Every structure is written in structure tokens, then in C-alpha cells.
Amino acid sequence: MGASGPATHPTGPAIRTVLGDIAPADLGICDAHDHLFLRSPQLPGQELDEAGPAAAELAAFRAAGGAAVVQWTPYGMGRGIAELPRLARESGIGIVTATGLHQAAHYAPEALERVHADLAGLFVAELTEGIGGSGGPRAGMIKVAGGFHSLDGHARHTMAAAAEAHHATGAVIGVHLELGTGALDVLDLLCGELGIPPGRVILGHLNRSPDLTVHRLAAEAGAYLAFDGPSRAHHATDWRLPDALAALADAGHGDRILLGGDTTAAGARSVNGGPGMPHLLRRLGPRLAHALGKDLVTRILTANPARAFAADWRWAATGS
Ligand SMILES: [Zn+2]
């Protein structure tokens, strides 16, 4: 193990942070979907690419009571890998980062061409050896993306590679649902066709499509449901969040819910006057306590992510 290796080697399921593997019980209060670094041609001028503001946001999150952040930025979108271990050490916040691939629109075509043929090999290497080569921080989840009420060829290819990487490593798969849609198509593909246990899939952005029946069906299937925000772009649905979560809890699915901030632009950071990461604990948590009770909100912020992101890490070859 290099300097970035774990201080301890927990036996059993572990959460893979950029500083090494930790026991699920040590995760603490977790922002289960957010971004410290992010770059996309789809978001010109809004890049999250500086370590200083990322450090300030982590400090603000810690001051609000936070202990861990899962960054869902996948391969090739400026994950800030060189900065993450130092930021984790200096802030005291546990950071989990992702491998995986977003929609094709987030990449230059030639960048996709370079990795297209052996995506599963790339994902496995980043999960087990390290990002940017052996000894680098290791990814702790696989992020993929669907389309608006659909799955195009790129999404299917990427999800097949994610499934292969899951079977080889045990890593959980987090899915960007476009405007919150396509949840059941994703489960049909990942769990029905590709053999992923539903409990190893996290459906992201469901707050953006508050179809409570789809939420319940996805939870009944056994998947995790991630809700995030607030966001100016999704303000039209943000206010439905407490009712959507209460409906899930009433149906007995409180253990499937995850919460995150999904800060994707510099202006959304708390240190720039936005809600940012602290909002989750400063305002959303207390608001949800009215709908769900304080105990369930605490479990949603601690026990649920600890279970969702923990894996029985394996090193098996991908067979490709
Ligand atoms: Zn995100």
C-alpha cells in the first residue's frame, strides 16, 4: 500500500474512500451525491475546477455536522483526483469518488473513442488499482447515465461495462436519470438483463420526476433511490421532495432513500452564496424531520449510505 492506502484493512464490507477503505460504521453523516470537481462541455463557464473553493465548501459542510461526501463525477470530467486525498485529509471529511462514464454529450468524441473498447477494464482498474495508475486514489462507485425516458446505444454499452465491473469488484452502480426519468428501464437493463442485484443500484435524481408510483416500484424492486438538490434548474420539483419521501417511508421503504446536494456549478456553492453542501443539514434535514421524523432522517443520512456504498471488494479479472 502506498501513502494513499488504508490505515486499517477492515474485513467484510467496506467503503472505499480516496484515503483507503473504511468500515461502514465509520462513514457518519453523508452527502450521498455531490460534486467537488466537475467539467463538461454542457456546462461552459460553470466548471468546478479549483481546490480552494472545494476546500471551503468541505469546511462549511463539516461545520454543519457533515462527515462524508460521495462525488459522482465520472471518468474524463475533471474529477480533481490529484487534489482529493489532500482535501479529505485537511477537511476531515471522508470522500468517495467515482469511476464510470456520463452521457456521450459530456465528452469530446475522440475522448470516448479512446476508452470505448475496454470500458469495463478501465472501471475495474480505477476501482481496484487506482485512478491514473496503480497507487492513485481508488474509485468507490461506478457512475453511469440514462437518457430522457430512454436508453441509447451509448447508455447500454456503458451500463454493460458497469455491470461487468460490478461483477468483478462488487462496487455499487449509481445512475444519473435524465430529469429523473427512465428508472424502470434502467432496472430492467441492469437487474433484469445484466444480473446486478437491485440493492447494488442507486437511482439518482428521482426528485426531478416526482412520480410516486415509479418511486415505489423501484423501491419495491430493492434499488436505492437518491434524491438531491435544491437546484435552480429543478426548482419546479424540489418542493415535492418531502411528500415523495414520506410516501416511500409510509410504504416501508425508508431504508432505500439517499440524500445529496448535487452541487454542479460554482454559483450553487454555499461559499459563493448558494445553498451548497451545508443546506442538506442546515435546512433540508430539519424540514424532512417534520415529514419523516428525526430518527428516520438520521438513518437516511448515515445507515443508508453506509449500506449502499459498502462493498465486498473483489479483485477478480473482468474476463474480457
Ligand atoms: Zn450529480
- DSSP letter string, 101-112: ---GGGS-HHHH
213 alpha carbon to ligand 1 midpoint, in Å? 23
43 alpha carbon to ligand 1 midpoint, in Å? 13
What dihedral angle (degrees, nearest 10) is formed by the CA atoms of 198, 157, 143, 272? -140
pLDDT of residue 252: 98
33 alpha carbon to ligand 1 midpoint, in Å? 6
Tell whether the torsion through CA atoms of 221, 190, 187 and 264 is positive or negative.
Answer: positive
pLDDT at 3 over 60: no
Band of the pLDDT at 319, cuts 50, 70, 90? very low
319 alpha carbon to ligand 1 midpoint, in Å? 30
35 alpha carbon to ligand 1 midpoint, in Å? 6
Provide mean pLDDT across the span 118-145.
Answer: 96
DSSP per-residue letters across 35-68: -SSB--TTSTT--B--HHHHHHHHHHHHHTT--E
pLDDT one-digit tens code per residue, 196-249: 999 999 999 999 999 999 999 999 999 999 999 898 888 999 999 999 999 999
pLDDT at 6 over 90: no
297 alpha carbon to ligand 1 midpoint, in Å? 21
pLDDT of residue 233: 86
Looking at the chain, the whole-number percentage of residues with pLDDT higher than 70 is 95
Domain ranges across the chain: 99-309
283 alpha carbon to ligand 1 midpoint, in Å? 20
pLDDT of residue 229: 85
User: Cα(first)–Cα(last) distance of the chain, in Å?
Assistant: 27
311 alpha carbon to ligand 1 midpoint, in Å? 21
143 alpha carbon to ligand 1 midpoint, in Å? 9
| Architecture in CATH of 99-309 | Alpha-Beta Barrel (3.20)
The type of residue at 227 is F
pLDDT of residue 210: 96
147 in Cβ contact with 117 (< 8 Å): no
Residues with CB under 5 A from ligand 1 (ion): 72, 262
What is the average pLDDT value for the chain, to the nearest integer? 94
- What CA–CA distance (Å, rounded) separates 20 from 9? 9
106 alpha carbon to ligand 1 midpoint, in Å? 13
34 alpha carbon to ligand 1 midpoint, in Å? 6
pLDDT of residue 10: 53
11 alpha carbon to ligand 1 midpoint, in Å? 30
Chain-centroid distance of CA 66 in Å reads 16
Helix (H) or strand (E) holding 159: helix 153-169
Band of the pLDDT at 110, cuts 50, 70, 90? very high
- What CA–CA distance (Å, rounded) separates 257 from 300? 6
pLDDT at 4 over 50: no
1 alpha carbon to ligand 1 midpoint, in Å? 30
Buried b or exposed e, range 212-246, using 16+ CB within 10 angstroms = eebbbebbebebbbbbbbbbeebeebbeebbebbb
